Structure 1
Amino acid sequence: MADAEFSFAPHPLANPGYGKRSTPYERPSRRDDFAHLPPREAAIAAYIDRLPDGSDISVKTLAKHLPYGQCALRTALNRIQRVGHLRRGRECLGGKWITRTWFSRTARDDAWWAAFERGDVPREKPPPTRSRAYILLAALGRENAAMSLSHADCRALTPLVEEWFARGAEERDVLRALTAGLPHPVHHPAALARRRLTDKLPPPPLRRDPPPLRLLECAKCGAPGYADRLRDGECGPCRGDRGGPAAPATASGRVPVQRVRLRAAEIRQALASMRT
């Protein structure tokens, strides 16, 4: 369905704290973001993608702005979810459980959504181009001629500098570590750089904010539970799987006791809030 057929009336926001929420580390928008979806689903996904966070993306509201009925929209949203663009669930903020609908411009698999539920989504690596770390190393000779590096040296040392950046260091921190107090003369700049990047590596940053308390829900029955037990957003019983997949286990084959207790407490709290 062409965008020209969509309503351009202002799309309403949901109540404060509800509505659409974009997932972290979204890449820039492109024309072919939803080319893998059928035309109707692609048009609906593109429309939702353009909406700001907090927008009301309930079926009833979307039906007022898109040329589809509520039944067609439910079907389309379920397909968009199965591909990995959308998940529904609940998140605890300030002791209160809030209904959430998370939308991802990039189609994510079940493992990614399980990591998202834990608040443990890694920042995606950029495409293989000349990275920020490589550029810093290549320009090191202009900072101090004694530390001039070859192309091969820069490529070999890039992962070490990227680890500094991952730990919160800035360019000036890396430059200071590589150029301050140099011996005279410098016989092997690449070996010296490797030694300093390794020995002076800063500690990992402390996580100041606690991990989010989230529960993803089954798309069909709405039951909260393990995100890593949902397959394409649906629980085992709704898929017709009586036993369902096994709960995530450690290398020894046992589920960590602390995780079981934490998850049980989360589910009890979620169910209690739904009854109130």
Structure 2
Amino acid sequence: MAEAKTIPAPPMAAAGYGKRSAPDQAPRTREMFAHLPVREAYIATYVDRLPDGAAMDVKTLAKALPYGQQAIRSALTNLSEAGHLRRVRETVGEGRTQWVWRTHFSRTARDDAWWDKYLKVDAPPEPKAQAATAPAEEPEAYETLAAVGRADSRMGLSHAECVALAPLAALWLARGVTREALVRALTAGLPAVVHAPGALARTRLRDKLPPEPPRSAATAVVRLLECTGCGTPGRPEALAGGLCRACHGRPPEEPAPVDVAALAAAARAASRAGRDRFVTSLSR
């Protein structure tokens, strides 16, 4: 199976955007994308290893991968049809008036029924599904974790540790904890020597996680599924495989074909008639 090359830290999307990992995926293996063509397997392997919140637009992926934008756009379309990803726009923020665009990815291929149930289009997500997806604050969570070592050198975290711990830290931010309070929670009462700051941070983030604030009707999320190929929004039944009819290769419904020859003949006739009227007016 194709292996994605090792590259520097991927660019992160703006808060709320970017990649979202689907829940309940099978463990990573070398053969997890063996059913895909080489190009699609290479790109899927790379995307699978991106942290949640990473930028997933075609231009950014083309800068990191040995494929052009058109090739990546086609590969993402094929991965959508194979059941590995869906493009979604949804509302976020107070009052749910801001729209964000997200790419939900699953290394385990899923059918349309699974994706439709998971995404709950036009309906508020269940608490379990909401917890399974990465919160919008992950880029901010990464920055906060990186700042922990600056606040106390005993808790210096590597890039890999910040990426791995970002989903847990993002839950704290999503539950109303400020960045400063999160740093204090990870640095308060430390022993004289910290041998494994990453493990200690994970334990504190997991065991001291604040309770989730109560949900209200005002926090309902509106989700619109989009065609992976062209971005056209639509109902799930109209986007089989996450693609619209045109992007599936099936021609969309069109009006009756135009008789070009008849139109040309009519134009010539109209031109002759106009010329004849002009000549007649001169002879009067």
Letter of the structure 1 residue corresponding to residue 231 of structure 2: G
CA distance 1:7–1:65, shift in 2 (3 Å): farther
Bigger radius of gyration, 1 or 2?
2
Which fold has the larger relative contact order, with Cα–Cα distance below 8 Å and residues 6 or more apart in sequence? 2
The answer as to whether partners of 1:22 and 1:53 remain within 8 angstroms in 2 is yes
Matched with 2:226 is 217
SS across alignment from 1:53 = coil
SS across alignment from 1:84 = coil
Give, in whole Å, the separation in 1 of the partners of 2:68 and 2:54: 19
Post-superposition Cα deviations, 1:12-51, rounded to whole Å, max 9, x if no partner, equal: 1111111111112223222211111011110110110001
Give, in whole Å, the separation in 2 of the partners of 1:216 and 1:226: 7
Give, in whole Å, the separation in 2 of the partners of 1:114 and 1:98: 19
Matched with 1:78 is 77
SS across alignment from 2:90 = strand
Residue 241 of structure 1 and its aligned partner are, at CA, apart by 5.2
TM (normalized to structure 1)? Answer: 0.51
- Equivalence map 1:131-170=2 (5 Å): none
Give, in whole Å, the separation in 1 of the partners of 2:58 and 2:82: 18
Q: Is 1:102 aligned to 2:104, yes or no?
A: yes
Corresponding pairs, count: 159
The answer as to whether partners of 1:7 and 1:65 remain within 8 angstroms in 2 is no
Point out where structure 2 has 5 or more consecutive residues left out of the alignment.
130-213, 255-284
Give, in whole Å, the separation in 2 of the partners of 1:41 and 1:2: 9
Q: Is 1:68 aligned to 2:64, yes or no?
A: no
- Equivalence map 1:108-257=2 (5 Å): 108-118=110-120, 119=125, 212-236=221-245, 238=247, 239-240=250-251, 242=253
Letter of the structure 2 residue corresponding to residue 227 of structure 1: P
Letter of the structure 2 residue corresponding to residue 107 of structure 1: A
Residue 213 of structure 1 and its aligned partner are, at CA, apart by 2.3
Point out where structure 1 has 5 or more consecutive residues left out of the alignment.
124-206, 244-276
The answer as to whether partners of 2:2 and 2:38 remain within 8 angstroms in 1 is no
Residue 229 of structure 1 and its aligned partner are, at CA, apart by 2.5
CA distance 1:91–1:34, shift in 2 (3 Å): same
Q: Percent identity?
A: 52
Post-superposition Cα deviations, 1:81-121, rounded to whole Å, max 9, x if no partner, equal: 11010111201112121111111111111111111221479
SS across alignment from 2:56 = coil
SS across alignment from 1:232 = helix
Q: Which moved more, 1:6-15 or 1:98-107?
A: 6-15
CA distance 1:2–1:237, shift in 2 (3 Å): closer
CA distance 1:56–1:84, shift in 2 (3 Å): same
Letter of the structure 1 residue corresponding to residue 108 of structure 2: T
CA distance 1:109–1:215, shift in 2 (3 Å): same
The answer as to whether partners of 1:236 and 1:242 remain within 8 angstroms in 2 is no
Give, in whole Å, the separation in 2 of the partners of 1:208 and 1:121: 9
Q: Which moved more, 1:50-59 or 1:215-224?
A: 215-224
CA distance 1:237–1:71, shift in 2 (3 Å): closer
Post-superposition Cα deviations, 1:133-173, rounded to whole Å, max 9, x if no partner, equal: xxxxxxxxxxxxxxxxxxxxxxxxxxxxxxxxxxxxxxxxx
